[in-house]
Amino acid sequence: MATVLERDTVQGGQPSIPATEPHPKPERLPLGPIKTVHVFWLAGMSCDGCTVAVAGATNPGIEGLLLGIVPTMPQVILHHTVLSVEAGEAFIQPFKDAWEGRLQDPYVIVAEGSIADERIAARTGGYFSAMGTEVLSEGGQSCPVPSAEWISRLAPGAAATIAIGTCATWGGVPSAAGNPTGAMSLMDFLGKDYRSAFGLPVINIPGCAPQGDNFTETVFAILLFLQGLGPLPAFDELGRPAWLFTETVHRGCNRAGYYEEGVFAKNYGDPECLIELGCWGPVVNCNIVKRGAMNHMGGCMEAGGVCIACTMPGFPDKFSPFYKEPPGGMISTAMSRGTGAVIRRARRLSNRHANSEVRWDKLNAVPSGWANVKGASPTLKMMEFFYKKWQFWGAKAPGRPKGTEDRFWGVDRPGTSADYLDDSSAREDARDGR
C-alpha cells in the first residue's frame, strides 16, 4: 500500500505526495516518568502569530518548561525555526533522528499553520512551505522537504500531536474559498483514524492568534498525563480542551448585560453590545473575554472590537463579510429590544430604590453636596411598597417590631445636624443615650 513516505519525483526533482495518511505505527511508548521531552515545532501556511502568542504566555509561561524547573514536569527541548539557536544541518538533525528512531527521548510535534497540498506545487516543480533540504533525485539534486512531509514522518511516533492556531486546527485563512494551495487542517491531513504513539488523536487549540495561556495550560495537562501523574484532560468532540472552549464568548462578555436590556452600540468606542456592528460572540466558542489576550488583560471585546469568530471551524468563510451584522443578529436584537425596554425600565426603578438610604426614604430628601438628588417619586414609592411586601413574603423583615424603633434625627424633630449641635436638649439626649 502506498504511503506518504513513498515519494515520486516530478519536474525539477520535487517530491509528489500521493497520500495524506501517515504510515501506521502500532508501537506505544510507556507512560512516564519522563525526564526530557522534545518538541518539534513545524510551520506550514502561517504568519507566525501563534509563536508570538505562546512566547507571551504567562500563566503558565514557557520559561519554566524550557529550563526544567517546574515540579513533576519534564524538561522541554524546543526545536523551533525562530527560537532555536542551531541552524542548518545542526537544526535539522534532531528531526531526522526522531523520524529514524534514533532519538532516545519521547517527542511531541506542534503544527502551526495549515498544511498545503504539496502535490499542487510539485506539478510545476515547486513547493508551498518547506524546512531543510534533502537529496531526493537520482541526479543528486538537493530539494526542499515540505512541511507536510515532516508531519507525515514524525506524527506516527509522536507522544502527542498538537495543532495550534486556527490555520492548523481548521485550515483558517489559507484554506479560505478561492485559495490556490488546497490548504487544510492538521486533522484533515492526518485523518480520522490517526493516533499518536500514546494513542491520542490530534489536539486542537484554535485562535487567530490563540491565547498563549490556552496553549501552555493544555501542554502542562498533557505532560502530566504522559508522566502518569494525572488523567487525560477532557477534550470535546473536535479535540479542543473542553474546559477552555465549552462556553461562548457572549456568556462571559462584559457587554452581555446591554444585550439583555436591548441596548446596542452604534459606533466603535460605544460601551454597549456590539452585535449590530458585526459581533458573532453569541455563537462562538472562545474564552478571550474571561482570560484576556495576555496576562489576563485585553481581548477583542474588552478593547472595543467585535468577535469575528476566529476560533471556529467555519472561519473565515462562514462569518464573512466581517463588520456586518449577522443575519441571525437582526432577529435576536429586534426581540431583545422588545423585552429589554421593559427590563431596562424596571431595573432603573430598582436601582433607584437600592441607591437610597432608608433614612432618605423617610425624610424624602438626599443630603448630597454633589448634586441636587430628588426624593422618591410617587411611582417609585408605590413600587417600593409592593416590592417590599413581595420581598419579605413569608420572611421576617429586618429591624425591631413596629412601635419600638429607634429614633433618628430628622424624623420626629425638624432640623439638620447643625441644629442638633446647637440644641442643648439634643446633647443631653445623646449623653444619656436617649
Q: Do residue 81 and residue 215 come from a single domain? A: yes
Shared domain for 375 and 407, answered yes or no, is: no
Q: Is residue 170 assigned to a domain? A: yes
Residue that terminates a domain, selected from 200, 230, 245: 245
Please report whether residue 253 resides in a domain. Answer: yes
Give which of 409, 429, 428 is closest to 419, Cα–Cα: 409
DSSP state of 72: T
Domain check: are 131 and 272 in the same one? no
d(CA 311, CA 287): 10
Determine the structural domain holding residue 230 and report its residue range. Answer: 8-245
How far is residue 348's CA from residue 181's CA, in Å, rounded to a whole number?
56
Nearest CA to 80 out of 45, 50, 58 is that of: 50
Please, which residues bridge with residue 294 across strands? 297
- Spell out the per-residue pLDDT of the chain, length 434, in tens: 333 333 444 344 444 444 444 445 545 555 567 888 999 999 999 999 999 999 989 888 888 888 878 888 888 999 998 888 888 899 999 999 999 999 989 999 999 999 999 999 999 989 999 999 887 666 677 889 999 999 999 999 999 999 999 999 999 999 999 999 999 999 999 999 999 998 999 999 999 999 999 999 999 999 888 888 888 899 999 999 999 999 999 999 989 999 989 999 999 999 999 999 999 999 999 999 989 888 888 889 888 899 999 999 999 999 999 888 888 877 888 888 888 888 888 888 888 888 888 888 888 888 888 988 887 788 888 888 888 888 888 888 777 777 766 555 555 555 555 554 455 555 555 555 55
- Look at residue 1 and tell me if it is in a domain: no
Q: What is the pLDDT of residues 181-228, one digit of tens each?
A: 999 999 999 999 999 998 999 999 999 999 999 999 999 999 888 888
Are 133 and 157 in a shared domain?
yes
Which of 332, 274, 340, 260 is closest to 302 using CA atoms? Answer: 274
Contacts of 47 (CB under 8 A, 6+ apart): 113
What's the pTM?
A: 0.78
Closest CA to 294 of 220, 212, 216, 215: 212
DSSP run (H or E) holding 224: helix 212-226
Q: In terms of domains, do 198 and 149 share one? A: yes
Cα(176)–Cα(227) distance, integer angstroms: 39
Residue 343 lies in a domain: yes
Select from 212, 221, 210 the least CA-distant residue to 243.
Answer: 221
| Domain presence at residue 101 | yes
DSSP three-state, residue 50 = helix
Residues 193, 254: one domain?
no
Q: How far apart are CA 241 and CA 203, in angstroms?
A: 8
pLDDT in tens, 93-127: 999 999 999 998 999 999 999 999 999 999 998 99
User: Which of 297, 326, 355 corresponds to the end of one domain?
Assistant: 355
Asked if residue 301 lies in contact with residue 274, where contact means CB atoms within 8 angstroms, the answer is yes
Same domain, residue pair 217 and 277: no
For residue 150, the surrounding DSSP H or E stretch is helix 147-154
Non-local CB neighbours of 195 within 8 Å, separated by 6+ positions: 201
Domain stop point among 355, 386, 416: 355
Question: Rounded to an integer, what distance in angstroms lies between the CA atom of residue 156 and that of residue 374?
Answer: 74
Q: How many domains does the chain have?
A: 4
Are residues 236 and 311 in contact, defined by beta-carbon separation less than 8 angstroms? Answer: no
Q: How many residues does the chain have?
A: 434
Residue 190 domain flag = yes
| Eight-class DSSP state of 222 | H
| 313 and 207 co-located in one domain | no
CATH number of the CATH domain containing 227: 3.40.50.700
- What are the pLDDT digits (tens) for 7-52? 444 344 444 444 444 445 545 555 567 888 999 999 999 999 999 9
Specify whether 197 is located in the same domain as 292.
Answer: no
Give the DSSP H or E segment for 154.
Answer: helix 147-154
Contact 273/264 with Cβ under 8 angstroms? yes
Helices (H), 1-128: 49-55, 63-67, 89-100, 118-122
Q: How far is CA 237 from CA 112, 192, 246, 327, 370, in A?
A: 21, 12, 11, 27, 57
Question: Does 2 map to a domain?
Answer: no
Cβ–Cβ contacts within 10 Å for residue 126, how many? 14
Domain co-membership, 184 together with 43: yes
289 and 267 in one domain? yes
Same domain (yes/no): 37, 155: yes
Task: Identify whether 209 is part of a domain.
Answer: yes
